[in-house]
């Protein structure tokens, strides 16, 4: 079955392909791969609202199942920032700049006060128009410096559940087993059965 994901993020597409093949989606395409341009304004105030906006806009442009997610990092000591603005936080255009700014703002903050969580909301629309919402939350802390070379986004500064290992130091299988996106996808897979 064919599925188009409302993203061109290669890391995200790779994670989705690995997890969705088990439910019969053997043709998983990014927007670029499908030759579709779709970039609606994310006006929602929650991850769920933004995922729904993207999925519905994409569904109007194609004749197959679609999936959109909205995910991000919530840092308690920063009042919940970057939150729903994680991808475009402060107008910074690359991951290293965003990670550096978070670490700068957390200088002097005790490790016990550096709590954070990744949140992922997935909005899936079947080819018949049925909509399904799934969500995952992964608790952790912000490291004092980037750690690891794998992963993407905020992975190098996010320590899973207080461990000394960042998402960027985990293998893809280890990360998928505990990540917000992995949890949301498992929730979705249950709902797709």
The yes-or-no verdict on residue 151 having pLDDT over 80 is no
The pLDDT of residue 168 = 93
Q: How far is CA 85 from the centre of its chain?
A: 12
* Mean pLDDT along residues 144-170: 88
The yes-or-no verdict on residue 192 having pLDDT over 80 is yes
70 is catalytic: yes
The yes-or-no verdict on residue 4 having pLDDT over 80 is yes
The yes-or-no verdict on residue 9 having pLDDT over 90 is no
The yes-or-no verdict on residue 162 having pLDDT over 70 is no
33, 39, 69, 70: which one is catalytic? 70
Q: DSSP string spanning the chain?
A: -EEEES---HHHHHHHHHHHGGGT--EEE-HHHHT---------SSHHHHHHHHHHHHHTT-SSEEEEEEEEEEEGGGTT-BGGGGGGGGG--SHHHHHHHHHHHTTT--GGG-EEEEEEEEEEE-TTS-EEEEEEEEEEEE-SS---SSS-TTGGGEEETT-S-BGGGS-HHHHHHHSHHHHHHHHHHHHH-
pLDDT in tens, 39-75: 999 999 999 999 999 999 999 999 899 999 999 999 9
Closest CA to 116 of 82, 70, 65: 82
Report all structural domains of the chain as residue ranges with CATH numbers, in order of start: 2-192 (3.90.950.10)
pLDDT in tens, 81-113: 999 999 889 988 789 999 999 999 999 999 899
- What is the Cα–Cα distance from 71 to 135, expressed in whole angstroms? 9
Q: Which of 73-82, 109-118, 166-175 has the lowest mean pLDDT?
A: 166-175
pTM attached to this predicted model: 0.88
């Amino acid at each position: 079955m064919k599925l188009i994901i409302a993203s061109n993020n290669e890391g995200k597409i790779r994670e989705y392909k690995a997890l969705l093949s088990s439910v019969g989606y053997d043709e998983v395409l990014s927007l670029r791969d499908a030759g579709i341009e779709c970039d609606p304004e994310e006006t929602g105030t929650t991850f769920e609202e933004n995922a729904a906006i993207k999925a519905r806009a994409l569904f109007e442009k194609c004749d197959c199942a679609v999936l959109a997610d909205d995910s991000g990092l919530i840092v308690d000591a920063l009042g919940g920032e970057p939150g729903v603005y994680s991808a475009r936080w402060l107008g910074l255009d690359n991951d290293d700049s965003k990670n550096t700014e978070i670490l700068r703002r957390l200088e002097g903050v005790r490790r016990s006060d550096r709590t954070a969580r990744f949140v992922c909301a997935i909005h899936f629309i079947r080819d018949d128009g049925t909509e399904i919402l799934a969500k995952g939350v992964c608790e952790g802390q912000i490291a004092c410096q980037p750690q690891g070379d794998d992963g993407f986004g905020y992975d190098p500064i996010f320590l899973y559940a207080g461990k000394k290992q960042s998402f960027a130091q985990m293998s893809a299988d280890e990360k998928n087993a505990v990540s917000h996106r992995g949890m949301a996808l498992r929730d979705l897979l249950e709902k797709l059965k």
